[in-house]
Every structure is written in C-alpha cells, then in structure tokens.
Amino acid sequence: MEYPIWHLTTLAGGFWIAFIATVHVYVAHFAVGGGLFLVLTERAAYRSENPHLLEYAKKHTKFFLLLTMVFGAVTGVAIWFTIALLAPQATITLIHQFVFGWAAEWVCFLGEIVALIIYYYTWKTMKPGDHMTVGWLYFLFGWLSLFLINGIIGFMLTPGDWLETGSFWDGFFNPSFWPALVFRSFFSAACAGLFGFVTATRIPDTTTRHTTVRTCSAWTILGVLATMAAGYWYVTALPAPQQEMILLKSHRVSDFMQWFWIFGVLTLLGGLALAIKLPRAMSFPLALIVLLAGQGLFGSFEFIRESGRKPYLIWNYAYSNSIIKAQVPVINQKGAIASARWAPHELKTGITDANVMQAGEFLYQLECASCHSIGGPMNEIRKRTRNYDTNAMEAFLTGMGKLNRYMPPFIGTRQEKTALAIYIAQGLNKNESVEPVAIPTPEPTTPAPFDSVHSEYTLTAWADQGMQFYVQSRQFTLLPAGNMMRAQLVRRGSSPEIVTEDIKMHYSMEPGFKGENLSGELEAFPEAGRFEGRLAIHPFKDGVFEPLPIMTLEARTPEDEILATAKVTVPTSDQMGCRNCHGGDWEQNGHGIASPTAANILETHDRMNNTNHVERAKKGPILCIECHDDPAQNAQGSNGYPTLSAAIHGTHAVFLAGRDAEDSCLKCHPKNSLRGQHKGVGLECTNCHGSMENHAISLLKADQVQGKKTADRLLSLIKPSGDQTIESINPRKPWINEPDCLTCHVDFETPETDMGFNTWTKDEGALYSIRRDDMEAIHCAGCHGSPHAIYPATERDNVLPLQYMGAAQSFGADGSCSVCHIDMMDYPMHHPGMGIEE
C-alpha cells in the first residue's frame, strides 16, 4: 500500500523471485560447503604428496571464485533488486528488524571476499600451513554468513514470539532456526560434492580423477542423506499451521514433494554410480546432469518450505501481496484504492461504470500480480479462473483465503471486489455472464373426476419434497434420482374413515417420461393411515424438460375395481446450478451436470481436501455418501466427515456469504423449488431455513454435537448474519430437523412473523410431509399440498385441489368440508383456525 507497483503480466513476481532465488541459494550453499571441500582437498594433497590433486585444488579454486564470488554476488544483488520491487513491505521489515544482523552478515561476507581472494592468489607465495589457515577462515566466514542469513530467512517462515514482542532475538532464534541451520549445513556439503564433479572431469591423472570422483560421491551421497533427515526434522519442527499447510492444504506441495523424491533419488543414484561404476566414464555433461538433479532436489524442497509460508511473506504479519495483516480492517473500511498511495488519480474519486475495468486492473496488480501471471508460467490467472463469470468470480473472491488458505483474502470494499471480478472475468477471460436458467411454463392438466354428492371415496396424494432434485454425472453421484410419493384414501361419510386394508394403490406416470418404477403399487402403512412408494423419474417428456410430471393414482379393490382416482405432480429436477461457478454448460437442453462441470468439481475437491477423486472417477462414478452421512439416502459415511448437507452448505457459505436467497440458494437449487403460497406472499428460502451462513452453521453445529471435529474448521470460517450468533443458532440434522410450520402459524393462526428460522421439528415424525392432524388421521400435506408447493401453486400443482375444491386452495378452506364429509361441520376437528365456527 505504501509503495508503487511494478506492473508485471507474463513473468509475474513469483517467477522472478523463484528463478533468481533458487539459483542463487544453490550457489550460496556451495560457497559454504565448497570452502570446506577446498581446504580439506588441499590438506589431502599435501598429506598424500599428490601433485595432481594439488593442481586440481588450485583449478577448482578458480572455478569456485568465479561461481561464488562473481555469479553469486550478481545473483545476490538481483535478489535484493527483485524483492525490493516485488515485495517492498516485507523487504523493509527485514531491513528494519535485522539491521544489525545484516551488518554482521556483510562483515562476514567481506571476510569471505578478502579470504577467498588471498587464498586464490597466494597458492605459490604462501606457506602451506598459512594458506590452509586462510582457507579455514574463508569457511568460517562463509558458515557464519549462513548462520546469520538462516535466522533471517527462518524468521519469515516462523517469526514465533516476535509477533508479540518485536524482539530481535525472538525473531532471529525463531522456532525453525536450528533444524534449518542443520539442514542447510548438510546441503552445503552435498553441494560441494555436486560442484566438485564438474571440475573433477578435467583431472588428467586417471588415479587421481577416480579418487576425486569417489570423494565427491561421498560428499554428495552422505550430504543428501543427511539433508533428507534434517529436512524431515525441519518440517516436523514447524508450528502446526505451517505443517498442515505443507502436508495437507497446499495443493501444489504434492507435485513438488513428488519431484523432491525423484530428484533426491536421481542425485543419490548419480553419486553412487559415479563412485562405483562410472569414474572412468566421468564426463563434463554427466557431471552437469547430476549437478542439475541436485538443483532440482534443493529447488523442490525450497518450494515445499515456501508453501508453509502461504499466504504470507512473513507468517501472520505481511501477506504475499505485501499488505500488512493488521491493516486489513482499516483497508476493508476505507478501500484498497483509497489506501494505496500510488493509485491512479482518476480512481481516487471513486469507481464508476466508466473506470471499473481500470480499477479492476489496478486491484489485480495490487493484490494478485505478486503471485499470478497473465499468460506466463507461474500461476497463470486465466487458467485458474477460466470457469468464472463475474458473479462466480466475486463469490470466489469472497471466500478467498478461507478454505484455500494458501491465498490471502481479498482486501477492500464490496465495490472493489466487484471491480476486480469484472476485470478478471470479462477483461481477461472474456467470459459473458451465465445465462439465467429457463423454467418451462407449467401446462395445465385436466383434473380427475369427483362428484361431491355421489363419490364414495376421496383420494389425496403429495410428494415428500416440493422439488426432488438430483445430481448425477458420469464422474460422481451426489444425490440420485428418486421421489417418495404418499397417498391417503378416505371413505366419505358423516364420520369419514381412513382406508388401507384390501386396497391396491396403483399408480402410473403420464406417457413420455423415463425412469425407474414408473408404474406399480404404493405400499400400505396401516398404522400411519397412508400408502407410499419411491420411484425415480427423469424430468423429460419426450426429451423436453418438464419438472412437474403428472402421476395418476387409482385406489382399487383386490378385484381391480376402481374406487377413486386422483392426479398429482411428481416434482423432480436435475437443473442444479453447478455450472454457475464450476464452468461447463448444461449436459443437454438446459439441464444436467456436464462432464467438464463435474470434472472441475472433483478437481476443486481434490485441491481443497487432498483427495484423488479425479483419478478415482476414471474407474467409475464416485458416491459422495462413501464418506459423508446423508439421511436422505439412509447412508452412513465414514471417518467422521460432516454430513453431506453440512459439507456442501458449509463450503458454499464461505463463498456466498452476504447474499440473499436469489444470489445464494437459487444459484444452486432449481429455480422453481419454491412454487406455492409462501412464494406468492413474498417469502424466500431464507425465511424458513435462514441465510446461507446461518443455515450452514445450524447443520455444522449438529455435526459438532456428534463429535465430528472436521466441522470445527468450517464453522470457524463462517460468520453468522443478521442478529444471530454462533451460540444462538440451534443445531439441526439435515432432512430430520426441519423448519416447523407452527413457528410462524402459532395455534394455526395467521402468522405475525415471517421468520421461521431456528425452531426445528424434534424428529422425523414431526416433519410436515408425514405429520398428521390433531386426530392423528389426515396428513397435513394431504390437504395443503407438497412441501414448498403449498396450495395455491402452479397450474399443474393445483390439479388435486381443482379436482376436489374446484379452486386452487387447501382442502377445507373457507369452511368447506365436503371433500370428505357429507354433513356440514360446525367445529374444527383437524386443527384450530380452519374457518369453521365453533
């Protein structure tokens, strides 16, 4: 915020720092280990009186001088140049905090320079003992430089108590200081052997060349083995958050970990082969191959170590985009552009339609360009955001830095977040907004016949859910197709009677639909006074999307005499909005999860949870209930993971926080999920289920009560909305503890509130779809309609009340009881508030 931005696109900041630093640090470690290698080689030459070995030591000194002092110094200056431009806030913090440490390191570096120059130019003029003393002084100064730099570099990863005390010593002798020092010391020895191979190829004497190659192999092999052991100590000594980031949460680590072991094995095998089989065949190209394998080994480890710092440059102090963590609350209120001293003047007056793209571009450079490139090799931003339109990109920015903790959070105002989303989605990716889903207009259907005077029976039916959605693709199954349909048969009379015995409840779907169990008989449940059965129907009539297919029910005697007929909708849809954020298009004709969308969902799951679903899905569809409990599927998961509903809503609440139902619930669920009277009076999903955040918290708290520790992390990332607190939200099990109608309809009266959130049905038996009246006879849904489609709803939903009431209204509305009663009733038997005079 305090410094100007170095505008980079193709080769972003992360590339330059990674490229220059890994090369420089490799040479810098050689500068330490190589100093020890030189003086020991010189001593060996004197003791063995081997002039060829002494000559090798002299020539190796020249190579060492040019590489470490010239190339090493140039790349060292390049590091300071790049970090000063790309990470100025972290750089100035290191300078201010460790000014005396840097001064001491520069003294040691000066000692290295002087000692190395004397050592190189006095081979013929200085006594051997004095000459080796200068060599030992060089190694001492070099190792002290390593000692000092190690404390400062380690501070960036594990500042430890410095965050509270600000003490030089707390920052320098940080939690990773000693394991890092041992690791780097051993790797310096390995580097000496690796670089020694390069010059050993030029030794003319065969015996001396073989001996030197084997010596270099010993330095390499023992150094690498010790480095690996120290590396394990290094990682395990890190505080828990950094360990978790390295071992579990940074999706890039697995690739670098793989390369670490590959290069480690190659380096060991190269050193071993050169020692045993190939000293005679030793050549300069072969030496370079082994040297580059060592570079790969060290570079991959450095990337692994660096991942432990994410999303910071200085852990828990300065983010990777140089924004200081403590300043975030002020910046979020004031605005990132207003807080940036070097922001373009035309943006200081505010973001408008005319400058929104410019504002987004500046915010990208301010907050993203330090790690992401545009068309370059490092974290290419367009590749990672290719699926997002503006809405999805804004959702990602909302959740950034929470579940994907290797990234900083977006810092700034809501308007700035929208501007950055527009720039990335429209400016960089040229993505148009995802077209709104098309819901077909429900076609009316002719009700079944009913004679209120002569008909002996009333047959009513309803769906278990107001919109049964399913999510299936070639790669995974979240929820399979399946509708639970229920029905009641009433023998009309002065005292109507529920009938279940000696009845066959036959059903059949209207022609043109496909699925399973599209015709058959519902099973009788006499103790509950109803019939029920499950079928799986696909919402396409002759290939055209139709989410409200019609079922015809016939109550028959054992001899197949039809007693009553009714029609009811079987609401079902696969029009889930996964593509809104996960890319791809519909599978076909405005519905279904396409393979590119499903693949991205699995990739995201793998990245966030360290799973291998993409590979597993190649062998067949993954079932989400393998791990996640789901009462809707009567499934017990494994390993204490959150329930399926809690996992999905908890994860998405992180990204969809602060949105209304239209921009959260209905971005995922079918648009026509709510169709009935509640929608007609202006209610939304959130009136009963709560906001996205509160809904997720209620589900996660139920998992927490069950001891599922995995729910804790998601809960920690979600902030309740409105006047709710984490403590005030009551836990609920999905599909079992649902909003209770009587929360609003107290004593069945007209509601005085429009918020039913946070009061749940006590168990499955109290759910609206199977609850019965005060007499434990008629089911609520039998008179009022399916959940989320309370009469009046759409023309197709209303087919049943049109049959019995002649109007789109609940059975018995306005005191009309002739649906079941042949006599006029003068008191409300089923529940109070029926409009009947008592």
| C-beta separation of 797 from 775 below 8 A | no
Which residues face 487 on adjacent strands?
461, 531
Pairwise CA distance, residues 253 & 255, whole Å:
5
Average of per-residue pLDDT across 32-55: 96
pLDDT score for 250: 55
| C-beta separation of 826 from 472 below 8 A | no
Average of per-residue pLDDT across 477-493: 95
User: Dihedrals φ, ψ of 573, to 5°?
Assistant: -155, 145
Amino acid at 196: G
Percentage of the chain lying above the pLDDT 70 cut: 98
Angle at 14 between CA 13 and CA 18, to 5 degrees: 120
pLDDT of residue 22 exceeding 70: yes
3-state secondary structure 739-795: ECHHHHCHHHCCCCCCCCCCCECCCHHHCCCCCECCCCCCEHHHHHCCCCCCCCCCC
pLDDT of residue 836 exceeding 60: no
| Residue 280: band (very low, low, confident or very high) from pLDDT cuts 50, 70, 90 | low
Fold of 323-428: Cytochrome Bc1 Complex; Chain D, domain 2 (1.10.760)
Q: What is the DSSP string of 444-486?
A: P-PPPP--TTT--EEEEEEESSSSEE-EE-SSEEEE---EEEE
pLDDT score for 572: 95
Mean pLDDT estimate for the chain: 91
pLDDT of residue 279 exceeding 60: no
pLDDT of residue 247 exceeding 80: no
Tokens coding 179: 């394991």
Pairwise CA distance, residues 543 & 537, whole Å:
13
Pairwise CA distance, residues 144 & 147, whole Å:
5
pLDDT digits (tens, 9 = 90+) for 549-560: 999 999 999 999
Amino acid at 645: S
From the list 643, 641, 638, 683, the residue with the least C-alpha distance to 665 is: 683
From the list 558, 556, 460, the residue with the least C-alpha distance to 779 is: 460
Q: List the single range of 41-50, 429-438, 571-580, 776-785 with lowest mean pLDDT.
A: 429-438
Q: List the single range of 146-155, 378-387, 564-573 with lowest mean pLDDT.
A: 378-387
Tokens coding 70: 């010239």
From the list 497, 511, 496, 589, the residue with the least C-alpha distance to 549 is: 511
Pairwise CA distance, residues 827 & 838, whole Å:
5
- Domain coordinates in residue numbering, the chain: 13-244+256-295, 323-428
* Cα 740 to the center of its chain, rounded Å: 33
Pairwise CA distance, residues 623 & 47, whole Å:
71
From the list 530, 563, 492, the residue with the least C-alpha distance to 825 is: 492
Average of per-residue pLDDT across 382-400: 94
DSSP three-state, residue 520: strand
Q: Is 230 exposed, middle or buried (0-12, 13-18, 19+ CB in 10 A)?
A: buried
pLDDT of residue 464 exceeding 50: yes
pLDDT of residue 406 exceeding 70: yes
| C-beta separation of 150 from 116 below 8 A | no
pLDDT of residue 389 exceeding 80: yes
Pairwise CA distance, residues 125 & 411, whole Å:
63
Q: List the single range of 239-248, 306-315, 733-742 with lowest mean pLDDT.
A: 239-248
Pairwise CA distance, residues 770 & 569, whole Å:
17
pLDDT score for 838: 44
pLDDT score for 440: 86
List the end-to-end C-alpha distance of the chain, in Å, as a whole number.
73
Q: List the single range of 279-293, 369-383, 634-648, 771-785 with lowest mean pLDDT.
A: 279-293
pLDDT score for 259: 84
Which residues face 488 on adjacent strands?
460
| Residue 4: band (very low, low, confident or very high) from pLDDT cuts 50, 70, 90 | confident
From the list 15, 12, 4, the residue with the least C-alpha distance to 368 is: 12
| C-beta separation of 379 from 373 below 8 A | yes
pLDDT of residue 837 exceeding 80: no
Total residue count of the chain as it appears in this document: 838
Q: Looking at residue 70, what DSSP letter applies?
A: I
| C-beta separation of 719 from 657 below 8 A | yes
3-state secondary structure 260-281: HHHHHHHHHHHHHHHHHCCCCC
| C-beta separation of 366 from 5 below 8 A | yes
pLDDT score for 835: 62
Peptide bond between residue 311 and the one before it cis (omega within 30 degrees of 0)? yes
Average of per-residue pLDDT across 524-539: 95
DSSP three-state, residue 383: helix
Percentage of the chain lying above the pLDDT 90 cut: 72
Average of per-residue pLDDT across 350-365: 96
Average of per-residue pLDDT across 394-415: 93
Sheet bearing 622-623, strands edge to edge? 471-472, 476-479, 622-623
pLDDT score for 814: 76
Inter-helix orientation angle 13-48/206-236, to 10°: 130
pLDDT of residue 704 exceeding 90: yes
Count helices and strands (H / E) in the chain: 32, 20
| Residue 334: band (very low, low, confident or very high) from pLDDT cuts 50, 70, 90 | very high
Average of per-residue pLDDT across 758-772: 93
Radius of gyration of the CA atoms of the chain, in A: 36
Close Cβ partners of 391 (under 8 Å, ≥ 6 residues apart): 421, 433, 434, 580, 663, 667
Q: Looking at residue 303, what DSSP letter applies?
A: H
pLDDT score for 310: 87
Question: Could you tell me which residue, 85 or 283, shows the higher pLDDT?
Answer: 85
pLDDT of residue 535 exceeding 50: yes
pLDDT score for 174: 95
Strands (E), 465-624: 468-469, 471-472, 476-479, 483-491, 497-498, 504-509, 514-516, 519-525, 530-538, 540-541, 544-545, 550-556, 562-569, 572-573, 586-588, 591-593, 622-623
Average of per-residue pLDDT across 121-138: 96
Q: Tell me the CA distances in angstroms from 99 to 35, 91, 104, 171, 175, one per residue in order.
A: 27, 11, 9, 12, 21
Pairwise CA distance, residues 760 & 776, whole Å:
20
Reported as half-sphere exposure (CB side, CA atoms, 13 A), residue 81 has a value of 8
pLDDT of residue 829 exceeding 80: no
Pairwise CA distance, residues 246 & 251, whole Å:
9
| C-beta separation of 341 from 322 below 8 A | no
Strands (E), 636-698: none
Pairwise CA distance, residues 51 & 207, whole Å:
12
DSSP three-state, residue 679: helix
| Residue 248: band (very low, low, confident or very high) from pLDDT cuts 50, 70, 90 | low
pLDDT digits (tens, 9 = 90+) for 57-77: 999 999 999 999 999 999 999
pLDDT of residue 261 exceeding 90: no
